[in-house]
Chain A
Amino acid sequence: MSVLVWIEQMNGQAVASSWEVLGKARQVADDLGAPLVAVAMGADINATAELARQYGADLVLTITSPVLENYRLSAYAAGLRRAIEEVEAVVVLTSATTRGRELSAAVACELEAGLAPDAVDLRVEADKVVAVRAIYSGNILTDVTFDSPVQFASIRPRSFPMPEAGEAVAELQPLDLGVNEDQVAEKVLEVKSTDTGEIGLTDAKIIVSGGRGVAADPVKGFAMVTELAQTLGAAVGASRAAVDAGYIPYRYQVGQTGRTVKPDLYIASGISGAIQHLAGMGSSKVIVAINKDREAPIFERANYGIVGDLYEVLPALTAEFKKRLK
């Protein structure tokens, strides 16, 4: 019996939210009195496996194969199944990234096991895991209890803090994937990195967002949002109104039909605070609102507000931060 966590890696690097999951899984494993096992898969996973030892795993399984060079669901599902059998996992966790979400679902379905997708919290009750999910696009919460011997959950990024790295005590144990290239249906023909050096919304500690308030000059407005974001090492976000108006692409959208985010600091500039937007960012630790209209609903959720013109406030904030963060 064990608790198993898949450590996702991309371009040879572990995905940070995997460590958040491993950190929480340590507590789950201790509550269940079970060992904590991490599994890393890929063509080259030495660095990820070493980090998994430092972030608290009792055992690190490594599955290395050229078949795993590019992520493909069927190959990775075979690997995860192999790991589950090897350590008799009763709790299987991944981060709820695109890949983590589908991988945990594919294996849970195959094993006819219960799954809590995109869970925001976990606890142990009577030797079983209870997960918490946000449903109805963040408007309802529900506990998810399990009736299956093996329990699967994917965990929304930033639901748990990064664990502290410690002394590496875990053994490394290699496993055979047992799958050949001709057994994998999906063929990856091309991979284009769209990594522009920008910080991703879901992992961001700070987000600076723009909304309809930039309408007077959207290009200038989002340039100011971006400059403040860059100064703070923050991600850029947007409201649906700004995306629908064509000011910025959809991938920046925060809210009910965009990304759900939970940064330490969320700076909403020119965003009125429609309930759909609040559903996507309302659990941010500190919210700052910059808006011309003192009556805008965003001020009811904000911790700090500046009533003013964002074309004046954003450059002033950027200048002040540049001065203070030197």
Chain B
Amino acid sequence: MKIVVLIKQTPDTAELPKVAAEEVKSGTIKATMVINPWDEFAAEEAIQLAERFNGDAIALSVGAPGAVDALKHAVAMGVGSAALVDNASLRDGDIWATAALLAAAVKAQGAVDLVLTGKQSVDDNSGTVFVGVAGKLHWPLLTNVIKVREIADGVVTVERLVEGGQETVSAPLPAVISVAKEINEPRYPSFMGIRKANKASIPTLSAGDLGVVTPANKTQWTNIRKPEVRRTQVNIIGGATVQEKAAKLVDALLAEKVI
């Protein structure tokens, strides 16, 4: 059984607020780059499934040369091998071109049974690249999965969260799965794992290597900007007792017509 986990390198979430519009425009982000936190759950699940079903886990990423560090993190966690797809032919926010590259990279791994990934990246926030990967591969897609219940007889059965409910769904393999935070608790890389990752050879593939002609952009990002920060003058409600403060606040909120 061969399991691929798709990984993105993204800014450390603690540094996201400091990212400047100019950095996004130029594509040169100064923040510390780490493995996208949502993808850690996918990497953990790939490792667990590889153990459970005696398979191999492979991590793939589309990114700049530095993104190899995110792949090394996955290898240090316990993913067997990794490959990077060079993103030189891509522009920001190009969902389908990214998906085309990832789908081709998945195919290049041979007979893959399952592709796992996180629910979205913390930078582009599209949550749709895996939809494109499933679409390009013509494989079924199961999103927001919180438990892989069974893989047997060429069918995967999962539990997934949807608004207002929980579903048990099955689909024939090969399939694409996006995982939710509830699925597991990602492990920290062990000392041995980090040593293994540092020695691992992680090849870089280009769009040309994969035989992908990057499709033309369907969307452009323009007028990239910081959101306006609302600076409010807070009205601190005073009063002799907590009851008096509560009454004054309720007066104010009723006058605002938000109740």
- Which of A28-36, A83-91, A145-153 is found at the contact surface with chain B? A145-153
- A residues in contact with B132, CB < 8 Å: 105, 109
B135 beta carbon closer than 8 Å to chain A: yes
Q: Is A82 among interface residues, defined by CB-CB distance under 8 A? A: no
Tell me the bound Cα distance from A189 to B16 in angstroms.
40
Most central of B14, B143, B230 by chain A CB within 10 Å: B230
The answer, among A185, A193, A316, for a CB contact under 8 Å with B164, is A193
Q: Which residues of B contact A301 (CB under 8 A)?
A: 230, 232
Q: Are A118 and B219 in contact (CB under 8 A)?
A: no
> By the criterion CB–CB under 8 Å, are A137 and B164 in contact?
no
A256 touches B13 (CB 8 A): yes
The answer for the CA separation of A98 and B123 in the assembled complex, in Å, is 19
A145 touches B219 (CB 8 A): yes
Q: Does B240 contact A (CB under 8 A)?
A: no
Given A117-B126, A135-B125, A316-B242, residue A140 in contact with residue B224 (CB < 8 A): yes
Minimum CB–CB distance from B225 to chain A (whole Å) comes to 5
Assess the A101–B245 pair: CB atoms within 8 A.
no
Q: How many A-B residue pairs have CB under 8 A?
A: 257
Q: Closest B-chain residue to A301, C-beta based?
A: B232
Q: Pick out which of these stretches binds chain B: A59-67, A163-171, A307-315.
A: A307-315
| Shortest Cβ distance from residue B84 to the other chain A in the assembled complex, whole angstroms | 23
Closest-by-CB residue of B relative to A256 is B13
Whether the pair A319, B246 counts as a contact (CB closer than 8 A) is: yes
Output the least CB separation between B179 and chain A (Å): 13
Interface residues of A in 100-128 (CB under 8 A from B): 101-102, 105-106, 108-110, 112-118
Which residues of B sit under 8 angstroms from A223, Cβ to Cβ? none
Q: Complex: how many Å from CA A102 to CA B176?
A: 13
Within 8 A of A (CB), among B1-45: 11, 13-14, 16-17, 19, 21, 24, 37
Q: A109-B136, A145-B222 are in contact. Are A256 and B232 (CB under 8 A)?
A: no
**Of A140, A190, A283, which contacts B168 at CB under 8 A?**
A190
Residue B235 lies at the interface, judged by CB distance under 8 Å to chain A: yes
Q: Is B204 an interface residue (CB 8 A)?
A: no
Q: Is the CB of B235 within 8 A of A303?
A: yes
Question: Is B47 at the interface (CB under 8 A from chain A)?
Answer: no
Whether B249 and A288, one on each chain, are in contact in the complex, defined by CB atoms closer than 8 angstroms, is yes
* Total residues of chain B contacting the partner, CB 8 A: 79
CB-defined contacts of B221 to chain A, threshold 8 Å: 142-144
* Docked-complex contact B227 and A139, CB < 8 angstroms: yes
Q: Is B206 in contact with chain A by the CB < 8 A criterion?
A: no
Do the beta carbons of B171 and A185 come within 8 Å of each other?
Answer: yes
B169 at the interface (CB under 8 A from A): yes
- CB pair A316–B246 under 8 Å, yes or no, is yes
Q: Which residues of A (281-326) have their CB < 8 Å from a CB of B?
A: 282-283, 285-289, 294, 299-308, 312-313, 316-317, 319-321, 324-325
Interface presence of A216 (CB below 8 A): no
Q: Does A49 contact B (CB under 8 A)?
A: no
Whether A73 lies near B225 (C-beta < 8 A) is no
Residue B226 at the chain A interface, CB threshold 8 Å: yes
Give min CB distance, B91 to chain A, whole Å: 11
Chain A residues within 8 Å of B171, by CB = 185-187
**Are B220 and A147 neighbours in the complex by a CB distance under 8 Å?**
yes
On whether the beta carbons of A109 and B135 are closer than 8 Å, the reply is: yes
- How extensive is the interface on chain A, given as a class? 35 or more
Interface: A194 (CB within 8 A):
yes
Bound-complex Cα distance A308 to B246 (A): 11
Given known A145-B220, A146-B219, A301-B230, contact A193–B165 (CB-CB < 8 A): yes
* CB pair B143 A98 closer than 8 Å: yes
| Segment with Cβ contacts to A, from B62-70, B71-79, B250-258 | B250-258
* Complex interface bits, B92-104 against A, C-beta within 8 A gives 1, otherwise 0: 0101100100000
Q: How far is the CA of A258 from the CA of B252 in the complex (A)?
A: 29
Q: Which residue in chain B gives the minimum CB-CB distance to A13?
A: B164
Interface 9-residue window, one of B48-56, B109-117, B210-218: B210-218
Chain A residues in 8 Å Cβ range of B14: 276
A189–B222 touching, CB < 8 Å? no
| Chain B hits for A195, CB < 8 A | 164-165
Shortest distance from the beta carbon of A285 to any chain B beta carbon, whole Å: 6
Q: How far is the CA of A18 from the CA of B159 in the complex (A)?
A: 26
The residues of B with any CB-CB pair to A shorter than 8 Å are 11, 13-14, 16-17, 19, 21, 24, 37, 93, 95-96, 99, 122-128, 131-132, 134-136, 140-144, 157, 161-172, 181-182, 215-227, 229-232, 234-237, 242-243, 245-247, 249-250, 252-254, 256, 258-259
Closest CB pairs A-B (n = 8): A114-B218, A105-B128, A105-B131, A316-B246, A109-B135, A114-B219, A190-B168, A265-B258
Q: A192-B167, A200-B163 are in contact. List 4 more A-B contacts (CB 8 A).
A: A105-B131, A140-B225, A300-B234, A304-B235
A-B contact pairs, 25 of them (CB 8 A): A71-B162, A108-B96, A118-B127, A136-B122, A137-B13, A137-B123, A141-B224, A147-B216, A147-B218, A186-B140, A189-B169, A194-B161, A195-B164, A256-B122, A265-B259, A288-B249, A300-B231, A300-B232, A302-B234, A303-B256, A306-B249, A317-B249, A320-B249, A320-B250, A324-B250
